[in-house]
Structure 1
Amino acid sequence: MTPAGAGLPIAWGIPFAGMLLSIAVLPLAAPRLWHHHHGKIALGWALAFLLPCAALFGPAAAGGALVHALLAEYLPFIILLTALFTAAGGIHVRGNLHGSPALNTALLATGAVLASVMGTTGAAMLLIRPLIRANRNRRHVVHVVVFFIFIVGNAGGSLTPLGDPPLFLGFLKGVDFSWTARHLLPATLFLVGALLALFFVIDGHWYRQEGVPPPDPTPDTPRLGIDGAINLLPLAVVVALVLMSGTWKPGVAFDVFGAELALPALLRDAGLLAVIAVSLAITPRAVREANQFSWAPMQEVAKLFIGIFLTMVPVLAMLQAGEAGAFAAVTRAVTGADGQPLPWAYFWASGALSAFLDNAPTYLVFFKLAGGDAQELMGARAATLAAVSAGSVFMGAVTYIGNAPNFMIKAIAEERGILMPGFFGYMAWSGAILLPLFAVMTFIWFR
């Protein structure tokens, strides 16, 4: 945006803070207002940034920030999510699944593996519905969804650029496709393994407390199977399109009102729109009805993230200004007295900001702060790159807004009648379970 982040006082972060507080407080303090008008509230906070920007720096500056945020960041983000949401929503896992601790743990483990193959969003949208259906006779199910967010929506996507947007951005910047798997596999296995073990204990406790759930009066077809499996093809096309946009470099780009749009990205987004249309056309209506598929979760994410993407523009600009910006203390905190990066500080700083900002641009900020040269970061500064990668992916689970699948999973669960914790209630879960594990990981891998 214009001016550079170095010229912005910290007050420009107020719209973003207001957006976060609205998400955190209004669903509890004014649920009817929030339910019916959250899109308008998000738009209001976006205008709280854009209008002063236009008044102080000119309409061209505000228009440039708006166009860049919409065309270069928001639309590619929301189109990809919609494609994964649509294709995965056309796959129905049938069978009379019984939500025992063993089955629930197995589904979470399966999701963790799939997350690095089809992305955290794809894996989450594929498995959240059968997981909820398997536990429909359980009284205590909130912890099942919370651990699903931890494991499938976040930690499982840490091994490939397909898994989570920050790693894909690293791939675009020159990080080898297999680099994260080689360097983050031990930490990922520890985190996912510890979370699965904790979940099994907690779920087993509530399962025993509840006793044996009553038999389902309307069981599904007993034989386990998949309806709408043809949608695995659109999911594969999504993966192929994402890889194409990262590996094909024709050097062709178009300037659209100041936003530079590369040809591979445009072709990817056009292909993803085609995937959405094809998935809707080839999926029998009965399959989506069996999944209780609706657009409400996707609409909520789209409305809220437009506010988040726009209000975080000045915040990211101030972070990118480094020592010259309002957040210079962050730059100093991740650098030792000898001028060398501190991996543990990069892990916690990139993670803490990823929990509240979108984790993809946050990853880029710290990638550049650590030097920005992929070859050097994969070599002499591998510990720093691993810390940034792990912090950006793992700590996206700390809040609902840390990673897009978090909100989508929450919305689907609430649509099914599960009373999910509010913003701070969820953070109580993540603080109690995740932060101690992150502390252990710091001492083992990121010192």
Structure 2
Amino acid sequence: MKNVLRRLALVALPLLAPALAQAAEFDGGSLSPLWGVPFAGLLLSIALMPLLAPVFWHHHFGKVTAAWSLAFLGPFALFFGVPLAGAQLTHALLAEYVPFIILLTALFTVAGGIHIRGNLHGAPGLNVAILAIGAVLASLMGTTGASMLLIRPLIRANDDRKHKAHVVVFFIFIVSNVGGSLTPLGDPPLFLGFLKGVEFFWTARNILPDTLFVAGALLAMFWLIDRYYYGKEGVLPVDPTPDTRRIGFDGAVNFWLLAAVIALVLMSGTWKSDVVFDIYGTPVGLPGLLRDVGLIVITLLSLKITPGTVHADNQFGWGPMAEVAKLFAGIFLTIVPVIAMLKAGTSGPFGAVVAAVTRPDGTPDPAMYFWATGALSSFLDNAPTYLVFFNTAGGDPATLMTTYASTLAAISAGAVFMGANTYIGNAPNLMVKAIAEDRGVRMPSFFGYMAWSGACLIPLFVAVTFLFFR
């Protein structure tokens, strides 16, 4: 039977290819909101199944993700035709998912090849210092890179503590999200803005006060909470096998590879080339292609030159990366009709959302842009959400950086800051959660995490609105 299916596929693909290449974009304004059900179903599965059926979810989350993906792709092919469905699948894979996963894998591998040695003791002062350093690094090497570099030593420093889930939660808030708000290297939405023409240092100049306020408030909040738990635990047990080595780095050669990753990302955003390959209707530019090939080479090189002892000390494994890859494959595919409906603007099914960000006189409302971008970025991929509202605000970078600077600042801050509201708001969130659970930390459930974000983040975002976006 498998041989028969394989032969059918070999016959069908060449016939299908020309049709895919000619497939056109579809109008999201004509879609029913019901097309968003597979995406909503996948989100609910991520939220509820670890609570209701943890064993089943642990072993079959990839199959559940595939089922929801087919629940979108199958009916879409039936109603709109196989060529258009194939074109959307190809675009989601080649233009979005594959580059996204290649970059995450490179950062995951390179950072996993750096071991911070030494006897780190997870007292409140050290924990705050690690979070503050991570916040700075996040805008220099990306939220993913900073998260993968520091989450393991942070967990190791706190491995003898009883209460430590809150440490990882605030790490996600600060390092995996808020800290990446100052440069295009920090978070994918800002990189997309850079590609659209926003100056490299514009974000740092315009939302530095917002970032310092949120990051500073979160660090102070964390110190109070961590000090309370630390005092409640009393005298901590002595580590039976303390690391007596001086604090330093093993696998430091990976820092050079990390610099190469950053250089490749910058190259793909600044180098303009007329060489474009059309793959079933999806344009793949030469800079992006060379970036992805370079990142794959760096990933393999890191695995080759990193000593096995470094990976062993880091307890490096592919489980967290595999989980993120499977879940985001479904997210990137099922989100296609949702983003299309948002792009339809006021005439689309979500027209009320788009209309809400405009004042009666027709000018953009920064406060509403902050909350609309942020709310959708909490549950949708924050990169395309940023683009939707960037275009809704006019899409001209020169105007947005000057006349409507507060609006662009609100879009940027909303996309980056509020990615921390849920586990799925930003890719590093899930990766950090997976690594923590793999190391024995009992992390909050999907809604448990949202209880933390609701209590800690939402009041800060309200304050940001009144302080910076009125």
What band does the TM-score fall into relative to the shorter chain?
Answer: over 0.9
1:190 aligns with 2:198: no
Runs of 4+ in 1 over 2 A off after TM superposition: none
Matched, 1:172 2:159: no
- Post-superposition CA distance 1:175-215 (Å, at most 9, x none): 00000000010000000000000000000000011012121
1:64 is the counterpart of 2:64: no
Q: Which amino acid aligns with 1:312?
A: I
Find the aligned partners of 2:120 and 2:201 in 1 and give their Cα distance.
35
Aligned counterpart, 2:157: 134
Q: Partner of 2:171: helix, strand, or coil?
A: helix
Partner SS for 1:229: coil
Letter in 2 for 1:37: H
Which residue is equivalent to 2:266? 243
Alignment of 1:25-424 (within 5 A): 25-424=48-447
Q: CA deviation at 1:28?
A: 0.5
Kindly provide the CA deviation profile for residues 224-280 of structure 1, in whole angstroms up to 9, marking residues without a partner as x: 111000000110000000000000002221110011111100010000000100100
TM-score by length of 1: 0.99
* Equivalent in the alignment of 2:15: none
1:65 Cα deviation (Å)?
Answer: 0.5
**Which of 426, 429, 439 in structure 1 is aligned with 2:462?**
439
Q: Given that residues 2 and 57 in structure 1 are in contact (C-alpha distance below 8 angstroms), is that contact kept between their aligned partners in structure 2?
A: no
Q: 1: CA distance between counterparts of 2:271 and 2:127?
A: 40
Unaligned runs of 5+ in 2: 1-23
Paired AA for residue 423 in structure 1: F
- In 1, the alpha carbon distance for the partners of 2:228 and 2:60 equals 39
Offset at residue 2 of structure 1 (A)? 4.2
3-state DSSP of counterpart to 1:356: coil
**CA distance in structure 1 between the partners assigned to 2:53 and 2:396 by the alignment:** 47
Question: CA shift at 1:323, angstroms?
Answer: 1.2
SS of residue paired to 2:265: helix
Residue 221 of structure 1 and its aligned partner are, at CA, apart by 2.7
Give the aligned residue type for 1:317: A
Instruction: Output the amino acid matched with 1:349.
Output: A
> SS where residue 254 of structure 1 aligns?
strand
**Is contact 1:99-1:135 (8 Å) kept?**
yes
**Whole-Å separation in 1 of the counterparts to 2:172 and 2:118:** 23
SS in 2 for 1:336: coil
> Cα offset for 1:10?
0.5
Post-superposition offset of 1:30: 0.5
Per-residue deviation, residues 304-323 of structure 1 (Å, max 9, x unmatched): 00000000000000000001
User: Is residue 400–residue 407 contact of structure 1 (8 Å, CA) maintained in 2?
Assistant: yes
Inter-partner Cα distance in structure 1 for 2:308 and 2:290: 29
Moved more, 209-218 or 164-173: 209-218
* Aligned residues of 1:149 and 1:397 also touching (Cα < 8 A): yes
Alignment partners' CA distance in 2, 1:212 and 1:203 = 15
Amino acid across the alignment from 2:116: V
Which letter maps to 2:316? F
Larger Rg: 2
- Matched letter for residue 382 of structure 1: A
The answer to whether the 8 A contact 1:96-1:224 is kept is: yes
**How far apart in 2 are the matches of 1:374 and 1:181?**
16
Structure 1, gaps ≥5 residues long: none
1:111-141 superposed Cα distances (whole Å, 9 cap, x missing partner): 0000000000000000000000000110000
Cα RMSD, aligned residues only: 0.7
